[in-house]
Amino acid sequence: MSLKEPPETPDRLIALVPAAGVGSRALRAHDAPIPKQYRLLAGQAMLRRTVQALLAEVRIDEVRVSVAPEDDQAAEVLEGLPRVVCVPCGGETRAQTVYNALCDAQLAAQDWVLVHDAARPGLPVEALSRLIDACIPNGVGGLLALPVPDTVKRARTSATMPSGIAAVETTVTRERLWLAQTPQMFRAGLLRSALARSLVNAEKAEQPPTDEAQAMEAAGYAPLLVPGSGRNSKITWPDDFEWVESWL
Ligand SMILES: Nc1ccn([C@@H]2O[C@H](COP(=O)(O)OP(=O)(O)OP(=O)(O)O)[C@@H](O)[C@H]2O)c(=O)n1
Ligand SMILES: C[C@](O)(CO)[C@H](O)COP(=O)(O)O
């Protein structure tokens, strides 16, 4: 009798949604201090819309939402959605939250993770599918991004001016510049080690990486830049709620 090879387990695809921020830049002076992921967009909490955008891709096995340890809103906001797990593993920074989520999820090294900001509720399923289609054959992974469309200025550091006004120091060439979006999709094992290393370096005075790709770049990889979508912009400032609501 010949011994059969065990059947190969297909690599899983897990979405991780960092949702432990406070959304300080999205608040106007007199706003109640509600984290932006819980603000309503056309009648539904932003976090629920973001998770639903991910669930539209049938290849995603599970969506794991990382919230602050003291969070008491996520369970209610996500009630009834299939394939969703909520984990109170938020950290001090976005990078720490994502690292904690990766450790908590107990994934196999070859599983894929797709990290997506709670603050990007407008992700079109076409862009999400484009990222997955590009990353799986490439092996390492990549991110959605858009080429910079405008002229780019760097401001002077010195002058203090009223109401956020600055003075130009120089014009930065936009050649080969892209604006990083999420999702950012990588192998779980590679991303976990890359983030662990970046977080240790951050303790030695470097800044923590502001996205997953930055940690992967520091580890020597060249993530793919896959065309994203204008609708997938991040809600960061008070006015952003209005334009997202206008087309939702
Ligand atoms: N310690 C943190 C900080 C941020 N995030 C998440 O990372 C995403 C992108 O971050 P950003 O837009 O900067 O959100 P905030 O940190 O909440 O915003 P702000 O910087 O204006 O306070 C958001 O979904 C946010 O909830 C997180 O999970 N943990
Ligand atoms: C990850 C990210 O969405 C890429 O553009 C972004 O960097 C997250 O926001 P933050 O303001 O840097 O925390």
| Cis peptide bond prior to 183, omega within 30° of 0 | yes
Residue 31: band (very low, low, confident or very high) from pLDDT cuts 50, 70, 90: confident
For ligand 1, atom 18, which residue shows the shortest CA distance? 23
180 lines ligand 2 (CB under 6 A): yes
CA 66 to ligand 2 centroid distance, Å: 16
Packing angle of the helix pair 46-55, 125-138 (nearest 10 deg): 50
| pLDDT tens track for 78-128 | 999 999 999 999 999 999 999 999 999 989 999 999 999 999 999 999 999
ipTM: 0.99
Around ligand 1, the residues with Cβ closer than 6 Å are 18-26, 37, 66, 90-94, 97, 117-119, 234, 236
Average pLDDT, the chain: 94
Using alpha carbons, list the distances in angstroms from residue 122 to 47, 85, 111, 181, 236. 11, 21, 26, 12, 13
What is the Cα–Cα distance from 113 to 208, expressed in whole angstroms?
Answer: 20
For ligand 2, atom 3, which residue shows the shortest CA distance? 181
What mean pLDDT is predicted for residues 212-221? 97
Higher pLDDT, 1 or 44: 44
Which atom of ligand 1 is nearest to 91's Cα?
Answer: 1
Whether pLDDT at 6 is above 70 = no
What is the Cα–Cα distance from 228 to 225, expressed in whole angstroms?
Answer: 9
Q: Domain locations in the chain? A: 13-146+178-247
CA 7 to ligand 1 centroid distance, Å: 41
| Burial of 116: CB neighbours in 10 Å, binned 0-12, 13-18, 19+ | buried
CA 195 to ligand 2 centroid distance, Å: 15
What mean pLDDT is predicted for residues 139-151? 96
| pLDDT tens track for 152-176 | 999 998 766 777 899 999 999 999 9
R_g of the chain, CA atoms, integer Å: 19
The whole-model pTM stands at: 0.95
CATH class name, domain 13-146+178-247:
alpha beta
At 84 the pLDDT is 98
At 7 the pLDDT is 63
Residue 196: band (very low, low, confident or very high) from pLDDT cuts 50, 70, 90: very high
Which atom of ligand 1 is nearest to 234's Cα?
Answer: 12
At 10 the pLDDT is 76
